[in-house]
Every structure is written in C-alpha cells, then in structure tokens.
Structure 1
Amino acid sequence: MSGGAARTGSLPHDIVRSTPQGASMSTLLRLLPALKPVIWRYVAGLSVGFAATGLGLAIPQVIRALVDGPISAGRDSGSSRGVWVAAGIVLALGVLQAAMWYSRRMLLMGPMVGVEHRLRTSLFDHLLDLSVSFHDHWESGQLLSRASTDLSRIRRWLSFGSILLVVNVTTAVVGIVILIALSPPLGGIFALFAIPTAWLSLRFQLRYRVLTRRGLDQAGALATEVEESVQGIRVITAFGRSGEFADQFMDAARRQRDTEIGKARSLSGIRMWLSLLPQLAFAVCLAAGVWLVRDGALSLGDVVAFFGTAAFLLWPVRSLGFAFADVMDATAATARVFEVLDTAPDVTDPVDPIEDDPDPSRIGELLFDDVHVGYGDREVLAGVDLRIAPGETVALVGATGSGKTVMVELVPRFMDVTGGAVRVGGVDVRDMTRQRLRGQLGMAFEAPQLFSGTVRENVLVGCPDADADQLDEALAIAQAGFVYDLPDGVDTVIGEEGQSLSGGQRQRLALARAIAAEPRILVLDDPLSALDVNTEALVEASLRRVLQGVTALIVAHRPSTVALADRVAVLRDGRIVATGRHDELLRSDPYYRQLMSLEVTS
C-alpha cells in the first residue's frame, strides 16, 4: 500500500494542520516580495475598485436629488429637463462603473499570473536545492499540489479575492456611514444588524480555516495515491491487488469529499445569514422609514436614497462569505507553499568555496578520511578510511546494510558526514560548490532514473552540449545500441521514467549517461544488476577501456563486476575491514570469501 502516511515529513491523511488563529494576515504578507515588482498595478486595480464602488454609491444620491427636485416640482419644462439630466448622469455613472470593473481585471490578471510564475519558479528551484533526504521524507503528491493547485489558488485570490474583500468591507463601512448621515435612526438600525453579522463571520472563519487546510492536505495525499498507483501498476496488477488499491483510493477520496462537503455546508450557512440579516434590516428600516416619512422626519428623496444605498450594500455584504472563504483558502495555500520554502537545505555551498585544484597531482583522487555518518544513536559509517588514487578502480563490497550506498551518496554530497571528511582532489567536498563538485562526477545507480524525454536528452543530461560522436561512444560502451532500432532512434521519446524499456535497457542508458559526462571520478552503485550474463560481459569489457585513467568507485555484488577493479575494499559494520586484490582476498579473508560465495550462488 501507499507508504506516504508513514513518512516522517509527509502529511498523513488523517492529520489536520491548521494555520494558527490570527495568523492569516502575517501569512499572506509573506507574498509581498513576489508582489513587489507589480505592486503599482495592484494598487491601481484596488484604486479602480474603490472608484467603481464610489460611483455605485453616488447613484442613489443622484436619484435623491431627482426625487426632491424635478419630480417634486411637478410637470413643468424645467423639471422635465432635470429628469433627463439625472437619467443621463445615472447612465454615465453606470457605464463608467462597468468600464472601471473591466479596467480592474485588465490591470490585475496579467501581473498576477506573473506573480504565480515567480512563486512557482522559486518553489521549483528550492525543491531542486533541497537535499535528497527531504525528498525521501515528503510525499510527491504533497509537493505537486503545492506547486500547482496552491499557487493557482494564491493567484486567484491576489487578482480577485483580495480586491473583493478590501473593497466590499470598505463599501459596507462607508455605506453604513452614508445611511446614518441620511437618517440616524434608520442608519442605526442597519448598523445594529452588523453586530451579529460580524460575530457570525468570525465564527465562520475559525471553522473554515481548519477545513480548508485539511482539504488541501487531503488533496495532496490523494495525488500521491494516484501517482504511486500509476507508477506501481505492474506490481498491483501482478499481485492482483487492484481492488485493495481502489478501496484505499476510495477511502482517501471519501475523506476529501467529506471535508469539501463540510466546507460547502459551512459556506452555505454563512451565506444564508449574510443574506438574511441585511434583508431583515432592510425590512425593519422600510417599516420605520414609512413612519418617519408620514411624520415628516424624512423627505421622500431621503428615503429613496437610503433604500437605494441599502440595496447597493446587499451584494457587498452577501459576498463577504465568499471573500472570507477565499482568505482562508489563500492563507492555507500560502502556508503550505512556505512550509517548503522555509525548509533549509541540509547541504549548502560554502561561503568561501575553493575554486582551484590546490595540488594538480591529486586531481581525480577520492579519499574517505575517518568518515562517520550517524542517524540518532546509530552510526552507519564508523570511521571509514579509504584512498582511491587517481585513475584507480576500487570495488566496494559488503553485506546488505553495511553502508555501501551511504558511502556512494557522500561523494556528490547527497548528504554530509557527521565526522571526518570526504575529499576529492585533496579538497574537502564541503569546501567546493555543489556545481563544481558534481561537475567532476559521473554516477549510475542500481535503480536508474530516466525522464520523459528522448534517448538523447536522457543520456546527455550531464553534458547537454555534447556532440553526436560523444553520444554514440557512450551508447556503444554501455552496449545500448538497441536505441538505434527504436522508431526515432536516439530522438525517440521513451516515456515517463522509461517504463517502455526493460530494466536492463534502462540500466544501460543510465550507465551511458554517466560515461557521456566524461567525469574525473565515476561512481557506480551496482549498475549492471539487471543485465543478462552475455550483455554484462560485453559491458564490462567496454568499461575496462573507459576506466583506464578514470578514478572509479564501484559498489559490486557479482564477482564479474569485482573483477573490473584494481582493488577491492570490504565494508563491514560501517568500517573498511580489508582491502586488496580480488584473488588475494579470496585466499586471505574468510568474510570476503563468504560474501562472494553468496553472490555466486544467488
């Protein structure tokens, strides 16, 4: 089943992680650096929104003047002309208001897409900068949902929701002030209904905040379920577990459905109250207004203006439910994005890196100098000392769990030592930039990772500017000539993770990729495990030529792979316990002889 819920850095399906109360504003303010390049467009859009609302509030005042002026004056030529003037003003205000709303959208949509682009680029760059251990601990679906759904949600809020919230809250406040100015008794009644409205809105925000964060986390978990099931379709099908995985997916989908229904129910409730309370205020004010007009306390024009303004306020008040929901959605999305951006890389470049090779005679040397690597109280490597001379090939042999892969991952700084040092060319790898260090290395792993691109793009990942001869040579050494028989040769798109190829074909392309980079140091983690005996022999014969003059560390299990090495290092319980030639160790070291016998019979 999906292992995401067990990962230490992932977000299990049943965990609710809500933004702390009162943190919405501080969380959203973290978007300001991304917004800064287009802040003038944002301010302009907000200003246009205010202006459009101001025009809307002005229309009832024009009608008030019309009622108390030309209409009250009766049927004379002056009053008739006044009606037409007032109607023209109302029409002009309406057209101008519509133009301003259009302008607001034009001012904001393009720049906010740019903000989304900058945030997505920053997030992706940061993901590439984070250590391998981070990606081991986080569900890929959670990262994918942050880089897609969450950033799109933030963009929509910046371009629409934030403007709607600020303008409509301001409109409601200004509108109530206007109502009080028109008629203190009626305006007071309307303001009185704002108290339960504000209280209900606060309760809604507290509940909806939790639900929206839960929903986003569950969406990420659901994306992980889909991804893992699609990637593992061969295993699922082979073991007849489609039903169990479908049930697991349905459980996750049901949890998200329930959360979304809870959000919809909560939003429906607040919308009901935000619609009902203003209507109740409207009804009470209407009854009171008739009484005030009858007693002469209000003019007919005042009443018309009052209720015209009150009617204009109905939409801003009703929309506050959506606006508050958008704030909570954007806050949760922003918090999720910054959870990743705030994660500091475990492996970083030095402040003052060494750029030159201090000792040319040591170029290509790989040295493990009293290396320790620990996880909590457990030491995986407990004082490893191993020197691989320039141009030398060393095979690293050990039982499962002895620390071979950890040693391999220390060389490119997928992780760092907790004691001692790994040195390349006499320089501690922590004193180099990661770019410079990894530019000297070529690596191939037992489980090859290919990308959804062409054969050419996959092989030349480490040297994209290489010519055709360099590509052909790397493919020939890796015995990957099968690519020329593909529909488009080396320009054939091999599909996601190279699943259209066999395991042995993927390994050969990964080996060709390591060779094509023409590295000083070649690190191979059991790269031939999926090859048949005949192909392995051909690859090993080609590798012997390549390894001349290249420093190589090869994690080996098969005696045939060990035979490629000038020397063998035996790793046991996190220490190098023996080194020597293969035939020497077979004679002198019982533990090594036992390891090789196990591999021969396996």
Structure 2
Amino acid sequence: MPGEHAVDKDSPDRSAVRSLARLWPYVRPVRGRWAAAAAVAIVASCLSLVIPLVLKWMVDGPVAEGDPGGVWLGALYLLLLGVAEALLFGFRRWLVARPLAGVEARMRAELFRRLQRLPIAFHDRWASGQLLSRGTTDLMLVRMFLAFPLTFLLVNAVTILAGFVLLLSQDWTLGLVLLTPVVPLVVLCSLFETKYAVVARRAQDQVGDLTTVVEESVLGIRIVKGFGRHRSQALAFRELAERLRSTELVKARLLAGIWAFITVVPELAIGAALVLGTVQVADGDLSAGTLVAFLSTALALRWPVESLGFLLAMSQEAATATERYFEVMDEREETPGPASPASVPETPAPVADGVRFEGVSFRYPDAPADAPPVLDRIDLHIRPGETLALVGGTGSGKTTLTALVPRLHEATGGRILLDGEDITLMERERLRALVSVAFEEPTLFSASVGENVLMGATEGAAEPELRRALGVAQADRFVAALPEGAATQVGEQGLSLSGGQRQRLALARAVVGRPRFLVLDDPLSALDVHTEALVEAALREVLRDTTALVVAHRPSTVMLADRVALLSQGRIAAVGTHHELLRANAEYAWLMSGEGDGETYGEGNEER
C-alpha cells in the first residue's frame, strides 16, 4: 500500500517541525497577511490580560471605597475590552481566510499537475484512493493548521509569557507556585507528540485505504451487483472502517489523557495559589484586589495552556499530512526531454525507416532480482507504412512491448528507433504527438463524446476531423443517435455506453490525429462480428498511411496486418505472414486455432 511506502513515518528521528517547514514556499507569498493576523491575535489575546488589572483597580478602589460610579465605569471598561477582543479575533479570521484557501488551492493544483507527469510505474504502485485522500483530506488538514494551530501556538506562547510576567510582578511567591507544573507539562507534551504522530499517520493512511475501497466499489458496481458481491464488499468496507475507528479511538484516548493532565495540574496549582494568597490577604501581606487580579490572570491563562493539547494534536496531523503530500511531490516525474542524452549514442537525422526494436529488454522496477525479464533482447523491424500484428499467449509481454513505444514504460535495455531516431532522445511531447495509442481497456472521461475523441487530435482540430475519425471507428451512427450527438456527455468512465461503443470511441481517438505511428492493443475485442468487419474495412484505409503495431488475438484482426510477429516467453519467436506462420510454427497455429483459449503455449512470464 502507498501508505506503507513512508519508510520513516514511525522513525524516532521524525521531526514534525522539519515536515511543516516544507510548507514555507507555499506560505511565503501570503506571509504578510499571516504575520498581520498573528499580530492582531496577539493583541487580542493580551487584551484579556488587561481585564485582571481593571478588576484590581475596581476591588482596591471603587469597591473598597463604596463608589458605585467607579464600579459602573470599571464595568464599561471590561465591556469595551471584551468587544475589542472579539472584533480583533474576527479581523484575524478575515485576514487569513482568503490567502490560506489560496495556499490550499495552489498545493492541490500542483499535486494534480505532478500526478499527470509521474510515470506509469508510479501509478501501478499507488492506490488511487491514497492519492485522492492526499489531495483532499490531507490538504484540508494543512489549511486548518496554517489558519489556527500555527497562529495560536505563537499567540498562546506570547500570552503565557506575558501572563507569567504579570503574575510574578503582582506576587512572585504565588507566581512561582503557578510555575511548578511547567516541567511535567513539557515532558508530557513531548511524549504525547511522539505517540500521537505515529497514530495520526496510521489513521490518515487508513483513510486512504477506505477511500480506495469506496472508489473501487463505485467504479465496479456492475461487477459487484452482477456477482452478488455486495455483502463481501460491505464486509471489506466495514473491516477497514472498524480499523479506522479503532485508530481514531486511540487518538481520542491520547488526546483525552493529555487534555486531562494539562487541565488538572494547572488547576491544582491555581488552588494552591488561592489558599496561599488567601492566607496572605488575611495576614495583611496582600491586598484583596491584587489577589483577585492574580487569580483572574491565572484563569485567563487556562485557555492558552489547556489548548496546547489539541493544538499539538492538530500540528501532528498536519505534519503527517504534509509528509504524505510530499511523498507524492518528491517522486521523480517523467522528463519532458531526452531520458539520458549522455548515455545514448547519437542517431542520424530522421529517415523513413519505420519502427526498430534493437535488443530491447524490460524488467519491472519492483520485480524480484531473480525473476526473468518480461521482455528479453527483442529485435524487430516494422517497415515504413507497414502494419505488424503482435501475437502471443497471455503473459507473453505484448502489452508491455506496446507501452514501450510511447515511453509509458522505459526500456531497461536496448533501444527503440522511430524513423532512425532513438525515442530516448526525443522530447516526450513530440514523441507522443507522433505515436497514437488505443488500449484494449478503453478509458473515457466525464466529457462529451467529441471532447473525448478530439483528445487524440492536434490543437485546433474540429468537426471534419471528428466526423472522419468516428466514421473510421464505425461510431458515427450510434453517436448520431445519442440525445445531443457528439455533444452528449458520456459520464464517468463512459459507463453509460456499451463496451463496444467505448472501444470504438477509443479507436476514433487514436486515429483522429492522423499519426505517423499507431499502436493498437487488441482494439476490436469488444465488437460484434458485423461491426468488426466494418471497422476493419475502414481501418485498412487508415493503416495504409501509417506505420502500425497491432496486438491481435483473433485471426480477423491478424488479417489487417502485412506481417505477424510471434512473441513467446518475452522473445520474438517468429516473424512472417499469417499463412507462413500457420504452416511453419506450431505455437502460432495453436494460438490462432483458439484451442489454447488465450492461454500461454508452454511456460511464460506473468504479463503485467
């Protein structure tokens, strides 16, 4: 699980401060507003410390002298101080709300951009729910930290410091009594931070796991209902929800413990100071007004002290959220330019040479060291304008080989040339403009039919290109029958369409840009016999003008090709025409006969 990748999430060397410090580049543009908000909050908080001084004046003055006018004047001062404090705190909220929402939006936008640029190998490893939780829940926690705990850790520290200065100035002996809990509080807060950080990380990872289950159940609702698996899915969800609930209860117990300790210990100190102060007043060593002011100041400091527990808890949650965010942001994205120019020999100027695979090998990064490569020293030449069918049993590496051409995966050995040019020396944007792909599992986006198809076209493509592509894919009739034609919204994953309709739209997207090189991964597998024949007839016209590699499982698809390459156990076992291989190669004849039912002929690698 992706949450498990954070190798040092439970490390004792983990530092919440170092994690949160990485937010500075995002906070820097709004630092002025944040600093102003913090200053306003400090002023507002310190106003509450003026109230005890007013009370001291009232008790030792108007109250002691029996002056009702002075009492009413003191009450007016207290009211004005309370109103000023409330207005200042409201102003602080206004100062930070918009800029910090902007910080969250910027971080979310950068996360999305990074996800688009990360290699396919990254997305193969990470569950989508984990990525979704990082872009939603985690960033919300970061924004809440910037808006509240970050400010009030500073505000409360200043308030506590100013308050203790006032306490010591009023009576240093009583002040020392109130300072006695400081050492145990510091020790306990340190222990709490260490334990809470681990549990907070676990909870946030479990939220990601739960999000993954919900997303998979929604996207796979047809499978769930079709096989009557709603109970098992509900049990899986309940198990994860219970696990998250248990973790949240551990968090609650830790927070309750620290809150209780932070509340009780200062209260005991205040009680002791009250007793000692009362004795001093009785002995005439302390005025009643000073005792009232002292106790009022101590009570005013209760909130800044008691809030430390949940402020630290929110800070730890924000720190783990920040770690999870940067786990994605720290991943190396695909380089837009050449893969490694220094290590690749220079290639001649582009010539009409088609596609060449020269000693190409591939092994997945997370494969065991002793596992055989998925592809092993592939040598293959697709001539300019030629269509080559790639045939092989399940697990032979066909899909992996086609993914290497547009560099969805990087070959771990050898090289691939397009018209004599090494693809690792080409900018990815240019490479993917030259190579168009259609996958066996078609993916459509929550957009109109036309927008989905024109994704494969160059900028500025319009209605004529769209009509031509829909015609090639034999999708024009069913698209015209949709409520709004090509402007019809297909919905999430295009599930409002049939499998064959989605596959035809994916094929239209692949051919709409008239690519020089076309890679088709069994593009007709979901079509009925009659539609397949019509699509093949139209596709032949397109294939005349392009160099194509087509993964094929059925003889009808193979017949589109000029030649056929048989891939077996990660190696090219034979190349020839369909009829030549039928006569000369037993494995190919076995695959084309359908007797193997798609199974690998002999032992092979597990196809990824």
Contact preservation (8 Å) 1:440, 1:521:
yes
State the Cα deviation string for residues 295-334 of structure 1 (Å, max 9, x = none).
2222223212211111111111121121111111111111
Asked if 2 retains the 8 angstrom alpha-carbon contact of 1:10 and 1:139, the reply is: no
CA distance in 1, matches of 2:182, 2:434: 68
Counterpart code for 2:471? A
Evaluate the alpha carbon distance shift between residue 532 and residue 246 of structure 1 in structure 2; reply closer, same or farther with a 3 A threshold.
same
Equivalent pairs, count: 587
Does the 8 Å contact 1:410/1:416 carry over to 2? yes
Larger CA deviation: 566-575 vs 244-253: 566-575
Which residue number corresponds to residue 499 of structure 2? 503
2:260 & 2:551 partners in 1: Cα distance? 67
- The answer as to whether partners of 2:49 and 2:163 remain within 8 angstroms in 1 is yes
- After TM superposition, the structure 1 = structure 2 runs for residues 359-398 of structure 1, keeping only pairs within 5 Å, are 359-362=349-352, 365-375=354-364, 376-377=369-370, 378-398=372-392
Flag the 1:601–1:178 CA change in 2: closer, same or farther, 3 A.
closer
- SS in structure 2 opposite 1:461? helix
What corresponds to 2:452 in structure 1?
458
Q: Report the CA distance between 1:520 and its aligned residue.
A: 1.3
2:198 to 201, 207, 210: 210
Mapped pair 1:474 → 2:474:
no
Amino acid at match of 1:467: A
Change (3 A) 1:351 1:81: farther
Unaligned runs of 5+ in 2: 599-608
Any conservation in 1 of the 2:474–2:535 contact (CA below 8 Å)?
Answer: yes
| Corresponding position: 1:293 with 2:281 | yes
Match of 1:119 in 2: 107
Distance 1:193 1:352, change over 3 A: closer
Preserved CA contact (<8 Å) 1:525 1:555: yes
> Is 1:34 the counterpart of 2:26 in the alignment?
yes
Maintained 8 Å contact 2:347/2:422:
no
Q: Point out 4+ residue stretches in structure 1 off by more than 6 angstroms.
A: 351-354, 599-602
Corresponding position of 1:3: none
Aligned-pair identity (%): 48
**For residue 143 of structure 1, what is the aligned residue in structure 2?**
131
3-state SS of 2:406 partner: coil
Partner of 2:605: none
CA drift at 1:467: 0.9
CA distance in 1, matches of 2:552, 2:411: 22
Counterpart amino acid of 2:407? R
Partner of 1:270: 258
Q: For residue 500 of structure 1, give the secondary structure of its aligned residue in structure 2.
A: coil
- 2:56 counterpart of 1:61: no
CA apart distance, 1:165:
1.9
Deviation at 1:462, TM superposition (A): 2.4
Mapping of 1:251-270 within 5 angstroms? Answer: 251-270=239-258
Retained in 1: the 8 A contact 2:456–2:511? no
Unpaired runs of at least 5, structure 1: 1-6
Cα distance change of structure 1 residues 32 and 552 upon mapping to structure 2, 3 Å threshold: same
Contact 1:213 1:332 in 2 (8 A): yes
C-alpha contact (below 8 Å) 2:336/2:429 kept by paired residues: no
Q: Which amino acid aligns with 2:10?
A: S
CA distance in 2, matches of 1:502, 1:22: 50
Counterpart for residue 39 of structure 2 = 47
Check conservation: 2:360, 2:416, Cα contact below 8 A.
yes
Q: How does 1:401-550 map to 2 (within 5 A)?
A: 401-463=395-457, 465-480=460-475, 481-550=477-546
Give the CA deviation at 1:584: 2.5
* Native 8 Å contact 1:141 1:224 kept in 2: yes
Question: Which of 516-525 and 380-389 deviates more?
Answer: 380-389
1:13-24 alignment, distance < 5 Å: 17-18=9-10, 20=12, 23-24=15-16
SS at match of 1:379: coil
The TM-score with structure 1 as length reference comes to: 0.92
**CA displacement 1:164-223 (0-9 Å, x = unmatched):** 222113322332232122111111111112333333323322222222111111111111
2 CA distance for matches of 1:339 and 1:123? 11
CA distance in 2, matches of 1:553, 1:347: 25
For 1:133, what is the secondary structure of its paired residue?
Answer: helix
Letter in 2 for 1:369: E
Q: Deviations over 1:143-168 (max 9, x none)?
A: 11111000011101101121122211
Structure 2 residue matching 1:447: 3-state secondary structure: coil
- CA distance in structure 2 between the aligned counterparts of 1:333 and 1:601, rounded to whole angstroms: 48
1:320-349 deviations in Å (ceiling 9; x for gaps): 121111111111111111111112236663
Q: Which secondary structure state, in structure 1, belongs to the residue aligned with residue 374 of structure 2? A: strand
Aligned AA for 1:457? E
The answer as to whether partners of 1:365 and 1:387 remain within 8 angstroms in 2 is yes
